[in-house]
Amino acid sequence: MTIIYGINNCDTVKKALQWLNINDIDIEFFDFKKQMLTEQLIKQFVDLSSWDKLINKRSTTFRNLPAEVKNNLTDDIAVKTVLAQPTLLKRPLLLHHKKLHLGFKETQYQEIFSS
């Protein structure tokens, strides 16, 4: 099963979903705003990637975090913060064949789904 994680009103997520639809790729869409992330799911993301790649440090959500949180993103603090504010994660997150792909670029998706 291929799962795409994100929020429905994100332009990049919309582009990814449109590309997947045009290319007849069956996916499950997990909307951060409508479905609750779990600690287990976040830890799975970290196991497949890293906090440095997963956290969108250019986002307004990140910029509005208190300095003591931004400067002390241990695993425990990061998990709790993302559970409270899932829009901290880069979008979309694509889980395909037990690999996590961040963001959307058409060439990247062509490569992912050509194999």
Domain boundaries, the chain: 3-114
The pLDDT of residue 33: 87
Q: Could you tell me which CATH number the domain at 3-114 has?
A: 3.40.30.10
Q: Is 10 a catalytic residue?
A: yes
Closest among 15, 7, 33, 2 to 90, alpha carbons compared: 7
Give the Cα separation of 13 and 63 in Å (integer). 21
pLDDT tens track for 15-24: 999 999 999 9
Which residue ranges of the chain lie beneath pLDDT 70?
Answer: 115
0.85 cut: is pTM over it?
A: yes
Closest among 72, 2, 3, 66 to 37, alpha carbons compared: 3
Give the Cα separation of 47 and 109 in Å (integer). 21
Q: At what angle do helices 39-48 and 75-84 cross, to 10 degrees?
A: 120
The pLDDT of residue 1: 85
Closest among 45, 36, 27 to 86, alpha carbons compared: 36
Find the catalytic residue in 4, 7, 10, 100: 10
- The secondary structure of residue 2, as a DSSP letter, is -
Residues in contact with 108: Cβ distance below 8 Å, sequence separation at least 6, in sequence order = 101
The pLDDT of residue 101: 97
